[in-house]
């Protein structure tokens, strides 16, 4: 079967189900809408389409949205499993594979010892987060997984099961009735671990095979990958992540790890049936039985040393194949997941951490008004306290509620490490870190429970990114902090969301580039190993794009101990829904990491850096002029469904940070998601034209050809521009209130800016958008005729809702479901929404 045959089968089956469940007239209506949309997109008269949609009732509109959304979910599924077929049929070292990485490392001059040392030095840390861009319920995903399974065989029985699942999907509510709890998010994110666990042993074996093929000898290098989670630990702006929620998340980690380890030990026990040397009957199984009993009993057991000893014994006994193929799966999963499963990070906003420290110091009689102190006085106080080991709160007495909320989560991770080992906890992320004191304050809170943590500053805004190198130099110059860090790796987290919302696409990318270069220089001079933690989303406006390309686009010499990346929203389902897809995504990211880490720091041509500095300023100025225009926020609220997105029950976290409503308090995900709904995709390109004009086409082309970072930026911009659609945006612009000529003019300016940006990018790249990515270009073209009806219906529903309510703050009951479903449907069609 081919992709087209799969899509045709799924489409026909859906049509049959629609006809059976809603009647032939409804299926005829679906086909009529699709035909009129095609006519409109081809430049024909769209008056019949407008007349038809304006006449459908709310229930019919809802069913139309559901029909086209379900079609997209099925097409997405077919595309994913076409990738599985292609990957399974690919012989030899694939592009961007571990085998290809080792070949290229050898071509770069790395010896076997050098390559082995590189693999040992770096780590790819993938961090699951609960950001609200995966809107499908787990029940819906379950049906889709079952359909995907049957697509692979397509026997008559499989075709009948596909029809049954599509029939069930049509009658399954897509929208959540309640907001998911923190624990719902934990379970949803962890559901992909079982799939990843199937991919990791194959990757470990591929690493060993490839190393032997390229360098002619064996290696015992471990797969350089680890997993973390923010779900249950990310307190920044989420009042529901309480100490009990953190406790429950850690308990879930522990139970899932137990299940995974027990099943893996049982499989190894079944496989390793041979006797040891000298008639040592049951030698291998005896050790596995002991490990099984310890894990089953909930004991903390040193899995890795004992399994590595067993591996060595097998090899010593001449059982090399058994070690490589029968024990490696268990050994790999023990290395990656152990008894902790994933390392839970804690994250808190610097303002709340500071407030907790101020309350602690005041209650202890150390400082009445810590927050009123200037930075130098805060540092004097904090370093003095860190030199002392005494807790500030009397032992055995209860903490006030505000302090318990701050210190309680640290107590929970401390207790979890005692049970599941040190990797049960990851790092303490300090959001909106602006100063050295912001980074030191969590250390004082952790001291109250006698637990050692390593804080990670998160630099998010443009100003914070520019200050970051100085903050890190001051921090690493403090003996008190260096004593805490010891020989550990200093992590620095970089925020893509707020920097983009703050300064626009190009300026944010350049600020992130320069922050990494300068912070790397600081760490290198301080003699401290470092690792950057990239807070990327799935959309281009939030650092999205192919992971391998993004990693290869990092500044040379800035990857030391590896890197960490957030995996969130629909990215988890897209990347880890099938073991083959999981293996491919992981190997592409590892390919990028190994090659990027092998590149030494180099001096970029001054002409390039000066040009991009100019471009950044010009781009940021254009972007700020737009968002600070008094017409902009009213326009944003009229031409996007931002208020409707706020009503979706897709996450436990509010769409805004605490405080009065403003662009700065609006979280970046709903900000980006709003612009993908109307296909303007503004965060992924606005201001780029002015930046490219400041560089000039000749120099820009030179930079594009010779600078991986600049190429990555423009290739990502191409993707964002290609997914934009002025034909659709113009429909949303019709929602502007009649008589608001200023906002109408601003919408027209955005359209003109888009066209000019496309032209500027094509001149520098030397080709039409996505010429180098024909499959993606074709996918976008094929999707438009099917996503257009949902856009048209959403605009019609928004017009009705706002007209009846006199605004968008409220929503008539009969329009709420179809409107919210349209948001979900467009996300399914566009993908990469957050």
Instruction: Point out the catalytic residue in the list 131, 578, 643, 689.
Output: 131
- Give the tokens for residue 824: 């979900």
Do β-strands 455-459 and 124-129 pair in parallel, antiparallel, or remain unpaired? unpaired
Of 247, 501, 513, 578, the catalytic one is 501
Q: Which two tokens stand for residue 710?
A: 């600049």
Contact status, residue 175 vs residue 818, Cβ threshold 8 Å: no
With a CB cutoff of 8 Å and minimum separation 6, the contacts of 106 are 115, 214, 215
CA angle 788, 792, 798 (to 5 degrees): 140
CA distance 620 to 625: 8
User: How many alpha carbons fall within 13 Å on the CB side of residue 384?
Assistant: 10
- What element of type H or E holds 817? helix 813-830
> Is the Cβ–Cβ distance between 327 and 319 less than 8 Å?
no
Query: H-type helices in 530-655, by residue range?
Result: 547-552, 570-576, 579-598, 606-627, 632-639, 642-646
Task: For the chain, give the longest Cα–Cα distance.
Answer: 93
Nearest by Cα to 353 from 330, 382, 390: 382
The CB density around residue 489, as the number of other CB atoms within 10 Å, is 16
Strand-pair category, 563-568 with 225-229: unpaired
Q: What distance in Å separates the CA atoms of residue 654 and residue 639, rounded to the nearest whole number?
A: 22
Structure tokens at 616: 């950044």
For residues 531 and 561, is the Cβ–Cβ distance under 8 A? yes
Quote helix, strand, coil % in the chain, to nearest 5. Answer: 65, 5, 30
**Please, what is the angle between helix 462-476 and helix 436-447, to 10°?**
60
Q: How is residue 713 written in tokens?
A: 């930026």
Residues 6+ apart with CB under 8 A from 301: 291, 294, 295, 339
Nearest to 789 by CA among 10, 14, 43, 29: 29
Alpha carbon distance 495, 471 (integer Å): 16
* Residues sharing a CB contact under 8 Å with residue 548, sequence separation 6 or more, in sequence order: 96, 588, 589, 591, 592
Is 665 exposed, middle or buried (CB count within 10 Å of its CB: 0-12, 13-18, 19+)? Answer: middle
Burial letters for 767-804: b for 16+ Cβ neighbours within 10 Å, e otherwise? eebbeebeeebeebeebbebbbbbbbbbbbbbebbbee
501 is annotated as an active-site residue: yes
End-to-end CA distance of the chain: 33
Is 131 assigned a catalytic role? yes
Phi first, then psi: give them for residue 545, nearest 5 degrees: 110, 170
Q: How many CA atoms lie within 13 A of 486 on its CB side?
A: 5
Q: How many CB atoms sit inside 10 A of residue 150's CB?
A: 18
Q: Please answer whether residues 706 and 607 qualify as being in contact, where contact means their C-beta atoms are separated by less than 8 angstroms.
A: no
Asked if residues 218 and 587 have their Cβ atoms less than 8 Å apart, the reply is: no
- Contact call for residues 410 and 360 (beta carbons, < 8 A): no
The rounded distance, in Å, linking the Cα atoms of 744 and 575 is 40
The backbone region for 80, taken as left when phi is positive above 0, alpha when psi lies in -120 to 50, beta otherwise, is alpha
Q: Identify any residues that bridge with 568 across adjacent strands, giving them in sequence order.
A: 129
Structure tokens at 816: 């709420």
Catalytic residues: 131, 501
């Amino acid at each position: 079967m081919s992709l087209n045959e799969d899509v045709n089968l799924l489409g026909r089956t859906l049509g049959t189900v629609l006809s059976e469940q809603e009647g032939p007239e409804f299926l005829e209506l679906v086909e009529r809408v699709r035909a009129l949309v095609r006519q409109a997109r081809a430049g024909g008269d769209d008056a019949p389409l407008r007349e038809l949609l304006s006449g459908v009732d709310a229930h019919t509109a809802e069913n139309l949205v559901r029909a086209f959304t379900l079609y997209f979910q099925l097409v997405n599924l077919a595309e994913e499993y076409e990738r599985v077929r292609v990957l399974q049929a690919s012989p030899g070292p694939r592009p961007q594979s571990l085998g290809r990485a080792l070949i290229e490392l050898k071509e770069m001059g790395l010896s076997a010892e050098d390559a082995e040392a590189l693999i040992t030095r770096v780590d790819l840390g993938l961090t699951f987060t609960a950001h609200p861009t995966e809107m499908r319920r787990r029940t819906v995903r379950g049906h889709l997984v079952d359909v995907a399974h049957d697509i692979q065989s397509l026997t008559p029985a499989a075709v009948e099961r596909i029809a049954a699942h599509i029939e069930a999907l049509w009658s399954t509510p897509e929208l959540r009735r309640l907001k998911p709890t923190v624990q719902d998010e934990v379970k949803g994110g962890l559901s992909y671990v079982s799939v990843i666990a199937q991919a990791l042993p194959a990757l470990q074996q591929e690493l060993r095979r490839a190393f032997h093929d390229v360098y002619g000898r064996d290696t015992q290098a471990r797969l350089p990958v680890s997993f973390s989670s923010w779900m249950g630990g990310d307190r920044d702006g989420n009042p529901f992540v309480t100490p009990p929620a953190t406790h429950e998340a850690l308990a879930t980690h522990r139970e899932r790890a137990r299940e995974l380890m027990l099943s893996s030990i049982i499989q190894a026990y079944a496989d390793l049936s041979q006797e040891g040397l000298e008639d040592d009957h049951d030698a291998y199984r005896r050790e596995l039985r002991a490990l099984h009993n310890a894990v089953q009993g909930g004991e903390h057991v040193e899995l890795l040393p004992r399994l590595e000893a067993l591996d060595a014994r097998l090899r010593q006994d001449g059982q090399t194949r058994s070690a490589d193929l029968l024990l490696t799966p268990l050994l790999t999963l023990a290395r990656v997941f152990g008894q902790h499963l994933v390392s839970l990070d804690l994250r808190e906003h610097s303002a709340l951490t500071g407030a907790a420290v101020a309350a602690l110091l005041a209650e202890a009689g150390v400082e009445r008004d810590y927050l009123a102190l200037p930075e130098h006085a805060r540092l004097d106080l904090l370093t003095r306290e860190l030199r002392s080991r005494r807790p500030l709160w009397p032992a055995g007495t209860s903490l006030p509620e505000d302090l318990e909320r701050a210190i309680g989560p640290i107590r929970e991770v401390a207790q979890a490490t005692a049970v599941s080992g040190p990797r049960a906890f990851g790092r303490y992320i300090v959001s909106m870190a602006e100063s050295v004191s912001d980074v030191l304050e969590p250390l004082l809170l952790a001291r109250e429970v006698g637990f050692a943590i390593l804080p990670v500053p998160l630099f998010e805004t443009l100003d914070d990114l520019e200050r970051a190198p100085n903050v890190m130099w001051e921090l690493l110059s403090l003996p008190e902090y260096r004593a805490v860090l010891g020989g550990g790796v200093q992590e620095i987290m970089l925020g893509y969301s707020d920097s983009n919302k703050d300064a626009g696409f190009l300026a944010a990318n350049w600020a992130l580039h320069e922050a990494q270069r300068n912070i790397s220089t600081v760490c290198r001079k301080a003699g401290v190993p470092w690792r950057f933690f990239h807070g990327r989303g799935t959309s281009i406006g939030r650092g999205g794009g192919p992971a391998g390309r993004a990693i290869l686009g990092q500044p040379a010499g800035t990857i030391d101990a590896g890197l960490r990346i957030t995996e969130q929203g629909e990215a988890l389902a897209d990347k880890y829904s099938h073991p083959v897809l999981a293996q491919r995504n992981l190997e592409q990211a590892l390919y990028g990491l190994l090659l990027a880490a092998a590149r030494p720091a180099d001096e970029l041509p001054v002409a390039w850096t000066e040009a991009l500095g100019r471009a950044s300023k010009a781009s940021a100025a254009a972007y700020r002029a737009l968002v600070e225009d008094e017409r902009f926020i009213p326009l944003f609220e009229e031409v996007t469904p931002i208020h409707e997105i706020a009503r979706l029950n897709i996450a436990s976290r509010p769409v805004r940070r605490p405080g009065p409503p403003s662009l700065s308090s609006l979280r970046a995900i709903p900000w980006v998601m709003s612009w993908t709904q109307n296909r303007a995709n503004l965060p992924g390109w606005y201001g780029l034209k002015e930046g490219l004009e400041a560089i000039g086409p000749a120099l820009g082309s030179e930079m594009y050809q010779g600078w991986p970072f600049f190429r990555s930026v423009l290739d990502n911009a191409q993707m964002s521009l290609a997914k934009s659609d002025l034909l659709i945006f113009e429909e949303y612009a019709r929602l502007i209130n009649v008589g608001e000529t200023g906002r109408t003019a601003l919408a027209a300016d955005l359209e003109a800016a888009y066209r000019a940006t496309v032209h500027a990018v094509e001149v520098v790249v030397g080709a039409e958008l996505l010429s180098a990515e024909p499959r993606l270009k074709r996918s976008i073209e094929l999707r438009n005729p099917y996503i257009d009806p949902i856009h048209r219906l959403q605009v019609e529903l928004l017009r009705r809702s706002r007209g009846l309510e006199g605004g968008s703050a409220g929503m008539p009951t009969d329009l709420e479901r179809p409107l919210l479903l349209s948001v979900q449907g467009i996300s399914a069609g566009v993908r990469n929404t957050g």
